[in-house]
Amino acid sequence: MKIFLLFLLFCFFTSLFNSCFAGNVTYDRRSLIIDGQRKLLISAAIHYPRSVPAMWPGLVQTAKEGGVDVIESYVFWNGHELSPGKYNFEGRYDLVKFVKIVQQAGMYMILRIGPFVAAEWNFGGVPAWLHYVPGTVFRTDNEPFKYYMRNFTTFIVNLMKQEKLFAPQGGPIILAQVENEYGYYEKFYGEGAKRYVTWAARMAVSQNNGVPWIMCQQDDAPEPVINTCNSFYCDQFTPNSPNKPKIWTENWPGWFKTFGARDPHRPAEDVAFSVARFFQKGGSVHNYYMYHGGTNFGRTSGGPFITTSYDYEAPIDEYGLPRLPKWGHLKELHKAIKLSEHALLKSEPTTLSLGPSQEADVYDDGSEVCAAFLANLDDKTDKNVVFRNVSYHLPSWSVSILPDCKNVVFNTAKVGSQASLVEMMPEELMPSVTSPSKGLKALKWDVFVENAGIWGVADFAKNGFVDHINTTKDTTDYLWYTTSIIVGENEEFLKKAGRPVLLIESKGHALHAFVNQELQGSASGSGSHSPFKFESPISLKAGKNEIALLSMTVGLQEGYMNG
């Protein structure tokens, strides 16, 4: 008896999912069912490579304090499999460490393995080396691609199994995802697309990891894989089977940034409205993409032209600080939803019209448990409505939550959370202090001036242009193209006022043009149109003239991909 009590105490204090026992995860039309209990789940996307490991515990804890149950992340194939069969799980790519931090916080985990992820990530997460495997066509019924995709998916699933991180093993992972938003591009692949979707689903399910699999934006996701919604609003989304729950994998609280474009903004009131409407209309799992966006370190940003900042105007900003009032407003929303959870999961909704653009959804099982959502879909005018003989004021474009069908505990348009503004202040950088006892040396800034063009032995010479990506194999953003022109002293243009013109038409992304070591100008595409044209008059001298073009990439395409 004493041993059993000690075991129960141990379970209580470790509090992994409030249980020390393996968590069986199933689902039906209403929700996920974990350990026999229905769950309404609020999830937060935090991508482990977009922050540093020292930040992970704080980010997870801030999400938990914000009323979040689940942490969600993609798995980044090209960050993990550097060459076929050579894997990296160090530093920012220590996936096991990240998942265990989520587990230690007593939270669930959604692992979106993909392994194609898009995510404004370089090449959509597909390793560049796969592009050069003969006969490979990405994301279709193609044997080389399927071979490497299966290998990586199996490797990740087995790694999670070895660490006992799936829910049936007592771990935090309750859902896994295969592929990503393929439904947008399926039509481009013809007959091979449907076969690929069926294969991907079967391959995933055959992993026997004990948790359901999802496919986002995939209306034809085959049983038992759950199709899910990605959008700014998913309240009207319906799964492709009456046996599947309503899951929202990406609610965008802001948007990513592209070079040269304006900063995107989505008000906290509208984010809260979308979440409340989703649960009002029978939603069961909701994920913010992103809850912490973070930073595209190194050469990870794709797009192209996506900035190194992936802040996403998320509830936790790029630096790990709560973004107020958005974080606080959503925290209060989450509390209101959780107060209504029992009623939402125990009864079927009744929809009542309260006006031309006003409605109520009531969850009442006939006992004392009752919850209601009152919505005003008019985006310009406040309205007063009568519900159960009581008058309620509904601001425009808002949802009021009544966990007892009587009292409003939250309205999405009424922000009560404090606001804050993070301001970047200039700071004079000082050299670090020398500490011989600790083996530390003082650091100082140096400027390295590089000559334009090739100043040593060229890697190779070719009479004609070569493709940047195929030449560098995505190992660098830079490639020099150099040539020379011999101009005779009697050339006509040397005697006249007219000047020759240097004309370059490129598919992207950017370049600097030099003539005889002098910069002639620069040109670049943009996030909406990568190709560009450079045209500039140049001065040439009698004798040898060197022309050097520095080609630059700004992240590889991350969306629709074909080999």
DSSP annotation of 356: T
- Say if CB 43 and CB 337 are below 8 A apart: no
Q: Is 163 marked active-site?
A: no
Q: Which residues, 6 or more positions from 185, have their beta carbon under 8 angstroms from its beta carbon? A: 139, 559, 560
Give the bridge partners for 552, in sequence order: 478, 510
DSSP annotation of 12: H
Phi and psi angles of residue 408, each rounded to the nearest 5 degrees, phi first: -80, 120
Phi and psi angles of residue 59, each rounded to the nearest 5 degrees, phi first: -65, -45
**Catalytic-labelled residue, pool 81, 120, 179, 181:** 181
Q: Which residues, 6 or more positions from 332, have their beta carbon under 8 angstroms from its beta carbon? A: 410, 416, 417
Q: Is 250 marked active-site?
A: yes
How many residues would you count in the chain?
563
Separation in Å, CA 282 to CA 70, 236, 406, 490: 19, 10, 20, 82
The CA distance from 165 to 158, in Å, is 10
SS3 content of the chain, % helix, strand, coil (to 5): 25, 30, 45
DSSP annotation of 49: G
The CA distance from 82 to 79, in Å, is 7
**Catalytic-labelled residue, pool 81, 120, 186, 250:** 250
Q: Which stretch of DSSP H or E encloses residue 272?
A: helix 268-280
Known catalytic residues are 181, 250
